[in-house]
Amino acid sequence: MLSNIQILPEVASTMAGKVDALYFFITAVSVFFFLLVMLLVTFFAIRFRRRSEDERPKPIHGSLKLELLWTVIPFILGMAMFGWGAVLYFDMFTPPAEGMNVYVVGKQWMWKIQHPEGNREINELHVPVGTPVKLIMTSEDVIHSFFVPAFRMKMDVLPGRYTTAWFEATKPGKYHLFCAEYCGTKHSQMTGSVYAMEPVDYQDWLARESAATLSMAQAGEQLYNQLGCGTCHAQEGDPRGPSLYGLHGRAVELLTGNAITADDSYIRESILLPAAKLVAGYGPLMPTYKGQVNEEELLRLVAYIKSLNLDTEDSTSEPRGGKELEEQRNE
């Protein structure tokens, strides 16, 4: 029975093996130092045990050499662990450019997931193996944390902003999805499963599930029209509001003179809090849409605005101001 006990979680992502390697390294260092201290303590305790009450051992004040030795060696090892850990951390939170996006909304106590193709799932996430999957996550209420042990991946999901994480599954299978940040009564039941599938199976799954649904961008477009966003944000621009075509990922010059990259969070904030970061040349005319769109709908709007980039890619006109600002930022 004991042989059945697992002590390592499954290795099912590109990152998992790398994290395990660091784990083994630190474990080895720890075991070495633990045994060293324990053996010395045991040896001294026996070798120098008190044999008579009259013993008055000669005082030893210390040794600078030894102090330096046991300062420098832990320092070097500590820096090695830091460096190794930092490289992994950097990789974990720097998603590769290619790959797919998945949108996650956490709420007490469930995970709501949308695929760009329009598929929606609750407490389940289907992904293909071999493709980097970038998660764009937010919370409707308290802080949650998206944790898949088999992928060695975890990221807090915060209300009021987007956080991102990515993974690339390597092995088909069903894996635990946990909420790792305490979020109230049913925190321990805010769990689910991640299904990593062969790409063909994933395509099948997508087709099977999304036959009747709109893609996220299409759903976002519907909402966009419903809310009348296009009235002011016309494709060719409008005195009332800037064009949203080619906006995503571009540097935007703000009224304050600063430049900001129009990422998911900026778009989200601009819908909910239009006056916070006004684009240069436009007045604070836009009303807030807080309360009119929920987090999932916001993600669809973001997906739609993102999709406007693809449409403009083949158009000849460079997005306004983009080039110059990009250059300014590079200086």
Partner 1 sequence: MSNTVAAASRPEPDNNYLTAGYGLKSWLLTTDHKRIAILYLIMISVFFVIGGLFAVLIRLELLTPAGDLVSSDTYNKLFTLHGLVMIFFFLIPSIPAVMGNFLIPLMIGARDLAFPRINLLSWYVFAIGGMTTFAVVLFGGVDTGWTFYTPYSSTYSKTAVGLTAIGVFITGFSSILTGLNFVVTIHKMRAPGLTWFRLPLFVWAHYATSLIMLIGTPVVAITILLVFLERVFGVGIFDPALGGDPVLFQHLFWFYSHPAVYIMILPSMGVISEVVACFSRKRIFGYGFVAFSSLAIAVLGFLIWGHHMFTSGQSIFAGMVFSILTMLVAIPSAVKVFNWTATMYKGSISYETPMIYVFGFLGLFTVGGLTGLFLGALGLDVHVHDTYFVVAHFHYIMVGGAIMGYLAALHFWWPKITGKLYSEAWAKLSAIIIFIGFNLTFFPQFLVGYLGMPRRYHVYPDEFQIFQVLSTAGASILAIGYAFPAFYLTWSLFRGKAAPANPWNAKGLEWTVPSPPPKHNFDTIPVVEEEAYDYSRLEEEVV
Partner 2 sequence: MSEAHSGLVAHQFETAEQQRETANLGMWSFLITEVMMFGALFTAYGFYRTKYPAAFAAGSDHLDYLMGAFNTAVLICSSLTMALAVQAAQHGKRKGIILFLLLTILLGGVFLGVKVLEYADKYEHHLIPGIHFSVDSSYAAQIELFYCFYFAMTGLHALHMIVGITILGILVALSHRRRFSTDYYNPVEMAGLYWHFVDIVWIFLFPLLYLIGRS
125 contacts 177 by C-beta, under 8 angstroms: yes
293 contacts 301 by C-beta, under 8 angstroms: yes
Beta bridge partners of 166: 134
Q: Which stretch binds partner 1 (CB under 8 A): 176-184, 202-210, 246-254, 303-311?
A: 176-184
Which of residues 149 and 237 has its CB atom nearest to partner 1 in the complex?
Answer: 149
Contacts to partner 1 from residues 232-271, by CB under 8 A: none
Task: Please name the amino acid found at residue 201.
Answer: D
Q: Which stretch binds partner 1 (CB under 8 A): 66-74, 195-203, 242-250, 253-261?
A: 66-74
275 is an interface residue for partner 2 by CB under 8 A: yes
212 binds, among partner 2, partner 1, none (CB under 5 to 8 A by kind): none
**Neighbouring C-alpha atoms within 13 Å toward the C-beta of 200:** 0
Q: Which of 133, 178, 139 is nearest to 160 (CA)?
A: 139
How many residues belong to the site for partner 2 (CB under 8 A)? Answer: 9
Residue spans of alpha helices (H) in 165-231: 199-210, 216-227
Please give the angle made by the CA atoms of 131, 133 and 138, to the nearest 5 degrees: 175
User: For partner 2, which residue of 106, 192, 241, 274 counts as binding (CB under 8 A)?
Assistant: 274
45 is an interface residue for partner 1 by CB under 8 A: yes
Q: Please state the closest distance from residue 56 (CB atom) to partner 1, in A.
A: 5
326 is an interface residue for partner 1 by CB under 8 A: no
Contacts to partner 1 from residues 85-124, by CB under 8 A: 85-94, 108
280 binds, among partner 2, partner 1, none (CB under 5 to 8 A by kind): none
Q: Which stretch binds partner 2 (CB under 8 A): 132-140, 150-158, 213-221, 274-282?
A: 274-282
Contacts to partner 1 from residues 145-174, by CB under 8 A: 145, 147, 149-150, 152-156, 158-161, 163
Tokens of 174: 């069903």
For residues 280 and 255, what is the distance between their CA atoms, to the nearest angstrom? 4
Task: Please name the amino acid found at residue 199.
Answer: P
Task: State how beta strands 124-128 and 192-197 pair.
Answer: parallel
Which of residues 214 and 232 has its CB atom nearest to partner 2 in the complex?
Answer: 232
Which of residues 184 and 284 has its CB atom nearest to partner 2 in the complex?
Answer: 284
Burial tier of 230 (Cβ tally within 10 Å: 0-12, 13-18, 19+): middle
